[in-house]
Amino acid sequence: MTRSTLEWYELLARGLLWAAGIVFLLSMIGTVVIAGSDNSLPVLEDVERQGRGIAALASLGGGLTAAGLLGGLGAILRLLVADRLAALPPEPEPPAEPAKPSRAAKPPRDEETRPAKKPPRRAKPERKRENE
């Protein structure tokens, strides 16, 4: 396996761990919302209150389960990738580019090697207008 493939797997493992945290947080929010909701019928008030408690516990349990699975998969994948990366030989360094000489390093020009200056442009003579 190449180093770049392993780095992509490590990125996937981090994403799984972050997803686990987000799922856990959303399950906690869902539990609070379900438990705090007040949608009761006047006839079956006690049954609905118990049903909301069961639904809140189911939401919390499902969120914990899903977060645990995602976190576990992310951690296992990250450990396996770390082992494989440690077993790979070090990456060879790219060849160094030859140094470019700077402008200050050029020898100064003397009068003989300096290009000749261009003569200044002459101004065009003004034309007289005949209609004036």
The string of pLDDT tens digits covering residues 13-56 is 999 999 999 999 999 999 888 888 776 555 556 656 677 788 88
Spatial distance between the Cα atoms of 73 and 76, rounded to a whole number of angstroms: 5
**CA geometry: angle at 16 spanning 15 and 20, to 5°?**
115
The pLDDT assigned to 93 comes to: 77
CA 49 and chain centroid, separation: 44
Tens-place pLDDT, residues 75-129? 999 999 999 988 888 777 777 777 666 665 565 566 566 666 777 777 777 776 6
Backbone angles phi, psi at 125, to 5 degrees: -70, 145
Which is nearest to 81 in space by CA: 15, 11, 6, 14? 6
